[in-house]
Structure 1
Amino acid sequence: MNDAELPIETFLKAQPRTVLNRLYEKPASCLAVFRLLPMVARQIILNMLFLDGPLTVEDCLKFFQQRQTTEHEIPLERMEGLSIVKLRADKLHLNDIFRKGIVGALNGSGKEHDKVGIEFLDSYARTQWETILYFMVGSEQSTPPRNTVLFLLQRAGLMQRDMNDARHLNITSAGFQFLLQDVNSQLWALLLQYLRMAEERNMDLVEVLAFFFTVGGLEFGRAYETRGFSLTQMQTLEELSDYGLVYRTSKSAKYFFPTRLAATLTSTATSALSTLDDQEEQGYLILETNYRVYAYTSNLLRIAILNLFVTLKERLPNLVVGQLTRESVKSALNKGITANQVITYLTHHAHPQMHKNDPLLPATVSDQIRLWEREKNRVATCAGNLYTEFTSIHDYEQVRDYAKSLGVLQWESEAKRMLFVTSEGHESVREFIQRRRV
């Protein structure tokens, strides 16, 4: 046995040609066998891949002339033993099945009918990603993402339970700020939260992170097999499809396709997947002193975001007309969106025509938005429970400190030995008191 030959190669050489041909129907198998061969053999195969006919031994020697390679040094026997090439009349014939398989492996593609179009992948990635954004802004046109995504949005502080309906989620101030970021920043904000949650979900943090970078380094639009993936990698792969990073024809599919969005995992550049037209990037909002808003856009996501703090009046092709009202702004404030965020959004997306103004936005409108916020902040309501009649200051301090540690303490009065806890924290605090009594 050749010193460079591995036991697996010896085993393969002992297999019938029919067995090897079945093996070579799998691109990943072709690539694995290709890597078993010495560099000289690999170069010969790569040069033969795109030839219309066989390669003569003489031409092969000419190719390696500068390396002073002799006929005896070319590993023909090893390639023949693996049924990769066949030597006939001083000509090397490449196994057609192996040729097709290795080309598929090097291109990252599988069978012909497994391929999907670039336009389809772009549409899929856009749909998956915008499903999340549409849900965040409360668009009625969206279907909710999977529960794992909803849980992550809450843990990231981008959405929270509605105080009046626990089944409903509302966007938070952090969530609105999230919408102002580019796709790359948005994606990593979610994936970093995914990483923070990995260990509590019994997932290997390093393995998940390494898998992110692996997917980010794959070529867009080509198929990759899932063979050999660990349970953690398969779980991560399935969940990455929820964000539009990869596409799988079904949950049981043994291959996947990275989308254009996956490239943002290993690139600092903004993703080519954009939810905006170029003209909208330049600004599309006009705000008048009478609080009237003109939005030159047909983008449904932009309209949904605008609807968070603007009362929409009319919708025409490429134009939406609305009004900033006390009710519409207060509705946004009640969701946790701040006055400064509303003003920043209007400023950031101001139409080029607005840049002629000084200041950019009408001062009366900006001031009124801030006044509405101050008006709201005069009185704050919070559902919860009031705790009184503590037998000692020590007991009071123990319960108060515990409520503080949970982040559920809303108000306290040490002099009166009273404290107020949110409804969400009531059960935990009550159980703490009962445990102390026991």
Structure 2
Amino acid sequence: MAANTQSMRGFEHLEGLPEAVFKRLYQQPATALAIFRRMLPNLGKTFVMAMLFNPDPIPISTLEAWVHPTKNSLKEEAFAKLRQLHLVNERQGTFALDATFKVELKKALTGGGPPGCFGLPCDTDDKKKVDVAFLDKYATEQWESILHFMVGNEVPSSRRPSEGVVRLLLHGKLMEKARSSSETMITQLGFSFLLQEVNAQVWTLLLLYLDMAEQLRMDPVDILHFLFLLGSLELGQDYDMKSLTPTQKGMLEDLRDYGIVYQRKSSSRRFYPTRLATALTSEVRALNSPAATMKNAISQSDDNGFLIVETNYRMYAYTNSPLQIAVLNLFARLISRFPNLVTARITRESIRLAISKGITAEQIIDYMTANAHPQLRKNTPILPPTVVDQIRLWQIEGERMKATHGYLFKEFTSNSEFNAVCKYANDIGVLVWVDKSKGMLFVSKHEQIADYIRKRAQSNK
């Protein structure tokens, strides 16, 4: 498949890296295989396989001859991707695979490479071995605790995200500190994050983690190697840590917080990859439980939409998911809750509150459309136009009005005094608004204006 899904974010990030970084990345079989599998279009993979076991460079014209003239766009896309990823050396009209990539991809495909290059399975039995069901439950709880925290739900202290996770959310501007308190609140980027498919969510956090590598005193290439290695591991198998580098061992504690790996305790010498890890370089969903991801929790399939929106701004949500209810509470006023049903109302205040958190009208409309009940989907358009228009108007209303802290001056002794003060305020850059007909002006700072008026009055005595 072409690399075009949301979960490709991690791989798209690589495209902007310098050639020297690619040379280091290609030194590991797991990384070479992951890039081959997930970053190349089908035609690009075909070209790579043609060159992989060929000792000589292949004329570009030969590769071009394999493609039907009507598919030139696919050919150009494949060539561009090979060049962009520095996978080929181009010389005198020929292509040859990068030597390092060629060696490591061969190892990956033929089972070569040193022990541990695809993880080192433990050679002793785990007395308290865990199964896949346990790992799925663990990953779900860890990941959902982050999502619950983001939408403002109460999270038990034992499951509250660690300081490292909170720092990562703040660093990525998915959350921000409230101005009036030390508490954190979701941002526009955070709301978009909640609506992503879970693999994309995981990669979003991992890329933020990668962005903080320098602060964490970690090698970014080593981090990427480990992430691609995790994507190649077997779910349910326990692995020994002794083949990991110091950077990778340090990563395990953070990855535990995200639910990507499981360790019974921090001193344990073995770890288990969860489904969040093994899905990093695949196209399958990381978690399949309906409650396991925000995507599954709030973006059900067309047949399972849960929201009904009426022209009177009332909403009926057929759900008992705390995540779904918490997201509704971000932009609607909850009225009552029953088993499997929540009623709410969209109000000017609820929309303005959502907008103040950085959530846009379009995000709210898209969310309601994506989760509309099948009964609502029979309508064209799906949502009542009056509701959609009003949500947009409430956002525009907020954009039209801007509050500025300042001071109002009025009742001047004469018109000449008013004009002089206006000119002075404008000259020093504090004039915000003026109404000459009423003899009033509004300034952002008053000390200098008051001194000017006082000195002017004294000089006129």
> How does the TM-score come out when normalised to structure 1?
0.61
- Residue number among 114, 128, 141 corresponding to 2:142 in the alignment: 128
Query: Do the aligned partners of residues 270 and 415 (structure 1) sit closer, same or farther apart at CA in structure 2, a change above 3 Å counting?
Result: farther
Describe the SS at the equivalent of 2:336.
Answer: strand
- Residue number among 330, 338, 345 corresponding to 1:308 in the alignment: 330
Identity of aligned residues (%): 47
Is this contact kept in 2: 1:291–1:323, CA < 8 A?
yes
- Residue number among 265, 281, 294 corresponding to 2:301 in the alignment: 281
- Residue number among 218, 222, 225 corresponding to 2:233 in the alignment: 218
> What is aligned with 1:113?
127
- Residue number among 336, 342, 345 corresponding to 1:323 in the alignment: 345
> What is aligned with 2:252?
237
Alpha-carbon distance, 1:344 to partner:
0.8
Cα distance in structure 2, aligned partners of 1:304 and 1:244? 22
Alpha-carbon distance, 1:381 to partner:
4.7
1:148 lines up with 2:164 in the alignment: yes
Q: What are the residue-to-residue correspondences of 1:25-44 with 2, within 5 Å?
A: none
Alpha-carbon distance, 1:268 to partner:
2.9
Cα distance in structure 2, aligned partners of 1:124 and 1:383? 49
Unaligned runs of 5+ in 2: 1-118, 407-424, 433-461
Describe the SS at the equivalent of 2:176.
Answer: strand
Unaligned runs of 5+ in 1: 1-104, 385-412, 421-438
- Residue number among 389, 392, 408 corresponding to 1:370 in the alignment: 392
Cα distance in structure 1, aligned partners of 2:276 and 2:252? 14
Cα distance in structure 2, aligned partners of 1:153 and 1:198? 15
Describe the SS at the equivalent of 2:267.
Answer: coil
**Which structure has the larger Rg over C-alpha atoms?**
1
Alpha-carbon distance, 1:346 to partner:
0.4
> What is aligned with 1:416?
428
Alpha-carbon distance, 1:130 to partner:
0.6
Q: What are the residue-to-residue correspondences of 1:26-425 with 2, within 5 Å?
A: 110-141=124-155, 143=157, 144-165=160-181, 167-273=182-288, 274-275=292-293, 276=296, 280-282=300-302, 283-381=305-403, 416-417=428-429
Q: Which has the higher contact order (CA 8 A, sep 6+)?
A: 2
Alpha-carbon distance, 1:106 to partner:
8.5
Cα distance in structure 1, aligned partners of 2:298 and 2:184? 32
Describe the SS at the equivalent of 2:279.
Answer: helix
Cα distance in structure 2, aligned partners of 1:292 and 1:237? 46
Q: Deviations over 1:389-414 (max 9, x none)?
A: xxxxxxxxxxxxxxxxxxxxxxxx99
Is this contact kept in 2: 1:109–1:115, CA < 8 A?
no
Cα distance in structure 1, aligned partners of 2:142 and 2:426? 51
> What is aligned with 1:32?
none
Query: Do the aligned partners of residues 215 and 293 (structure 1) sit closer, same or farther apart at CA in structure 2, a change above 3 Å counting?
Result: same
Query: Do the aligned partners of residues 256 and 368 (structure 1) sit closer, same or farther apart at CA in structure 2, a change above 3 Å counting?
Result: same
Please give the root-mean-square deviation of Cα atoms over the aligned residues, in Å.
Answer: 2.6
Is this contact kept in 2: 1:308–1:328, CA < 8 A?
yes
> What is aligned with 2:21?
none
Describe the SS at the equivalent of 1:315.
Answer: strand
Is this contact kept in 1: 2:176–2:186, CA < 8 A?
yes
Alpha-carbon distance, 1:418 to partner:
5.9
Q: Deviations over 1:357-398 (max 9, x none)?
A: 1221111111111121122223345889xxxxxxxxxxxxxx
Is this contact kept in 2: 1:292–1:321, CA < 8 A?
yes
Q: Deviations over 1:293-317 (max 9, x none)?
A: 1111122111111111111122222
Describe the SS at the equivalent of 2:280.
Answer: helix
Task: State the AA in 1 paired with 2:239.
Answer: Y
Cα distance in structure 2, aligned partners of 1:254 and 1:189? 28
Is this contact kept in 2: 1:292–1:322, CA < 8 A?
yes
Describe the SS at the equivalent of 1:114.
Answer: coil
Query: Do the aligned partners of residues 269 and 228 (structure 1) sit closer, same or farther apart at CA in structure 2, a change above 3 Å counting?
Result: closer
Is this contact kept in 1: 2:306–2:373, CA < 8 A?
yes
Task: State the AA in 1 paired with 2:330.
Answer: L
Cα distance in structure 1, aligned partners of 2:400 and 2:249? 51
> What is aligned with 2:74?
none
